[in-house]
Amino acid sequence: MAIVYSTSSEGVDWAALKAELAADHFDNGRTPEQMERSFRASFRCVYTRDGERFIGTARALSDGVCNAYIVDMWTHSAYRRRGIGRALVRAAEDWAAQRGITVLQLNVYEFNDAAARLYEAEGFETVYRGMARGNAS
């Protein structure tokens, strides 16, 4: 099957997406309904599918002026190292650049050496200071 990218949330089977995330150990505990609300409230979402199967997501949160954050960045384990993550990041970056948004930050849920290499290759730098409250770890 061909890998397809989409920025439309219409027709997304939220239960299927949640099941793929959970099966790939990338589930943060949201219900399908909560996941839908969080994605629909975002400025930009990108979904990647192989046939009907979800294999990647990214979404951008933004003030619409100068700041944007990429969250829920996920590529299914079985599909990594194929350029999918890079395409997801670029889709969010392109969206921000078209709107003159210059500060783009990436919040990484699962950070490892492979993820670090991917994001560094896209021009991101590791930031060592930050604070969080609640389930941010």
Summarised one tens digit per residue, pLDDT across range 99-110 is: 888 756 655 555
137 lies in some domain: no
Return the pLDDT at 89: 85
67 lies in some domain: yes
23 lies in some domain: yes
128 lies in some domain: no
Q: How many residues in the chain?
A: 137
Helix (H) or strand (E) holding 86: helix 84-98
Cβ atoms of 83 and 67 within 8 Å: the answer is: no
pLDDT at 68 over 90: no
Structural domains of the chain, count: 1
Q: What angle do CA 36, 76, 85 make, to 5 degrees?
A: 90
CA distance between the termini of the chain: 36
Once rounded to an integer, what is the mean pLDDT over residues 52-68? 89
The torsion angles phi and psi of 116, rounded to 5 degrees, stand at: -60, -45
Once rounded to an integer, what is the mean pLDDT over residues 5-24? 94
Q: What angle do CA 106, 23, 118 make, to 5 degrees?
A: 30
Once rounded to an integer, what is the mean pLDDT over residues 79-89? 90
The torsion angles phi and psi of 72, rounded to 5 degrees, stand at: 50, 35
Once rounded to an integer, what is the mean pLDDT over residues 115-133? 65
Range of the domain at 53: 3-121
136 lies in some domain: no
49 lies in some domain: yes
126 lies in some domain: no
Once rounded to an integer, what is the mean pLDDT over residues 86-106? 80
- Residue 115: give its domain's CATH number: 3.40.630.30
